[in-house]
Chain A
């Protein structure tokens, strides 16, 4: 199933426009590493998710996502819980 999903536009926008990650690396099955995340990008994303969606996701939770798709699901789940 991995790879058959698209990264949702909200996440794609943050990764591309805010974190300035290369757009061509933003595929659902890409690891965070492969997508261009560094240690600061993890914190930047956590802060942005709080700012934009009012959700609290720790750096460790973000790091534990194996792929962008998993990260996307984690964010959607947390937003649904609000």
Chain B
């Protein structure tokens, strides 16, 4: 078990200056699932808050999703990036990593590009790595992508896990800036505990096993604790937070975590109802959607937190920029 604090928010702070996200075209409703699984719409909604998820067909790879999301974030940022970090639990193959192929397709051949696996906390881990590359001046700007095809992980006949997962990708561009400007990322606090690796595990796609009750307990404990620490590191009280942006695992988990932090429902961003759990894509996808529909406004103070297989977890703060 460990908790690691990464870069400080002073000189060489990482500043968000572009965001993009993408979902596959095919929406799968609860009704679509109840046709083949022994479950009901009410059962799925009451336990997860999920009504539909998007699922990639065989013709849409993790790299494809990553490229589409990244291209949008690059268009919006218009700064050259010198590194690419791809957070994913579902790379297209064991070897080579997916990131170099994504970089090449984006016209970024030559820059360092690598995959990072930290379950559903992967995007926060990737933000920490990117902020470090910026802080030590290895890169002036870094492309951070979270892309997953989690719908491929459950046993297709498992009614308890199939409804949870969807596919998607989200990406942000971080550039070197100052802690005082809009878009500045706070310290990224991370942790892991491999003694509970068995709580969420998939030896191979189609074989996911999850111990729901224990996952709930650990998720709520870890996310509420690390969120308090991240807010404190930024000098914020939880009352200062305009929106909690939790990894969209399950509405029961995120709702419980928010209540434990004393953050009311209307200050908690959610999209799990429409997209399910999209793994490393979850937080950037939620940020992109909430910025587009006006729930997030420039200057808003955001508290991002995630928890996933590993176990892994993390949290950070982010002040929303003017026009990412």
Within 8 A of A (CB), among B68-83: none
Residues of B close to A51: CB separation below 8 A: 260
Chain A: residues with CB nearer than 8 A to chain B?
Answer: 18, 38-40, 42-44, 46-47, 51, 59
What is the chain A residue whose CB lies nearest that of B217?
A43
Q: A40-B212, A40-B252, A42-B213 are in contact. Are A18 and B259 (CB under 8 A)?
A: yes
What is the chain B residue whose CB lies nearest that of A51?
B260
Which 3 A-B residue pairs are closest in the complex by CB-CB distance?
A43-B213, A43-B216, A40-B252
Docked CA distance A59–B215 (Å): 13
In the complex, are the beta carbons of A38 and B46 less than 8 A apart?
Answer: yes
B295 within 8 A of partner (CB): no
Size category, B interface: 10 to 19
In the complex, are the beta carbons of A47 and B47 less than 8 A apart?
Answer: no
In the complex, are the beta carbons of B256 and A44 less than 8 A apart?
Answer: yes
What is the chain A residue whose CB lies nearest that of B256?
A44
Among A18, A44, A59, the most chain B Cβ lie within 10 Å of the Cβ of A44
Residues of A close to B260: CB separation below 8 A: 51
In the complex, are the beta carbons of B217 and A40 less than 8 A apart?
Answer: no
Docked CA distance A43–B216 (Å): 8
Residues of B close to A59: CB separation below 8 A: 213
Docked CA distance A51–B257 (Å): 12
In the complex, are the beta carbons of B259 and A40 less than 8 A apart?
Answer: no
